[in-house]
Structure 1
């Protein structure tokens, strides 16, 4: 799947098949996360792969609305080193999710509302931040990916030159 197709078709899901993600596929996904750009090439993002069911269940207790971590066969925690910015973490997370989707793996980002809990479960130092955890797995297609919600039209999202201005007419 090409990059554009992966981006425009990717949808988050909280429903996964129990099938494990093959190691070679996981390596490609992690490599995509590693290649995300960062401010001044500071590379402040680290990733923790979480496959053990008991650790994913413990991690689910660190975030609100995180129960689907228990059902996902895999999670990847995106961790920021001190001084790293949320934009850097977001870039890495999006690379991970788009690369996974290109491999047929669905994902859903999970906020860790209780940082101390997430750091304890993952063994992360106190000066680091668990920016997000990505639940991942092959999608259970008994549940629709879009949940019937359509994306807003481009004209409602994009202004030209100033807020609320429509696209200039082209000749």
Structure 2
């Protein structure tokens, strides 16, 4: 799947098959996260791969809407070093999710509402931030990926030159 197709077809899901992600596929996904750009090439993002079901269950208790983490065969915590910016973490997370989808693996980002809890589960130092945790696995297609909700049309999302201005004629 080419990059554009992966981006426009990717959807989050909370329903996964129990099938493990092969090591070579996981390595490709992690490489995509590693290659995300960062401010001044500071590379403030680190990743923690969580495959153990008990640890994923413990991590799920650290987020308010994280129950589906228990069903995912894999999670990747995107961690920011001290001083790292959330935009850099977002770039890495998006690379991870798009690369996963290009291999047929779906994902869902999860907020860790109780950072101290998540840091303890993962053994992360107190001055680091868990930007997000990505639940990943092959999609259980008994559940629709889009949940039936359509994306807004482009002309509702984009302004031209000034807020609320429409695309110029012929543009």
Q: Normalising to structure 2: TM-score of the pair? A: 0.99
Q: Secondary structure at 1:136's aligned position in 2?
A: strand
Encode CA deviations 1:50-107: one digit per residue, 9 max, x unaligned.
0000000000000011000000000000000000000000000000000000000000
Where does structure 1 differ by over 2 angstroms across 4 or more consecutive aligned residues?
A: none
Measured after TM superposition, the shift of residue 170 of structure 1 is 1.0
Looking at structure 1, the residues matched to 170 and 128 of structure 2 have their Cα atoms a distance apart, in angstroms, of 50
What residue number does 2:4 align with?
4
What residue number does 2:64 align with?
64
Encode CA deviations 1:11-68: one digit per residue, 9 max, x unaligned.
0000000000000000000000000000000000000000000000000000011000
Residue correspondence of structure 1 range 35-74 to structure 2 within 5 A:
35-74=35-74
What residue number does 1:100 align with?
100
1:23 and 2:23 matched: yes
Q: Secondary structure at 2:58's aligned position in 1?
A: helix
Looking at structure 1, the residues matched to 126 and 65 of structure 2 have their Cα atoms a distance apart, in angstroms, of 24
Residue correspondence of structure 1 range 108-127 to structure 2 within 5 A:
108-127=108-127
Count of residues in Structure 1 that have an aligned counterpart in Structure 2:
171
Looking at structure 2, the residues matched to 70 and 23 of structure 1 have their Cα atoms a distance apart, in angstroms, of 20
Q: Secondary structure at 2:93's aligned position in 1?
A: helix
Looking at structure 1, the residues matched to 75 and 153 of structure 2 have their Cα atoms a distance apart, in angstroms, of 32
Looking at structure 2, the residues matched to 52 and 77 of structure 1 have their Cα atoms a distance apart, in angstroms, of 13
Looking at structure 2, the residues matched to 140 and 64 of structure 1 have their Cα atoms a distance apart, in angstroms, of 23
CA RMSD of aligned residues (A): 0.6
Structure 2 spans left out of the alignment, 5+ residues: none
Q: Secondary structure at 1:28's aligned position in 2?
A: helix
What residue number does 2:32 align with?
32
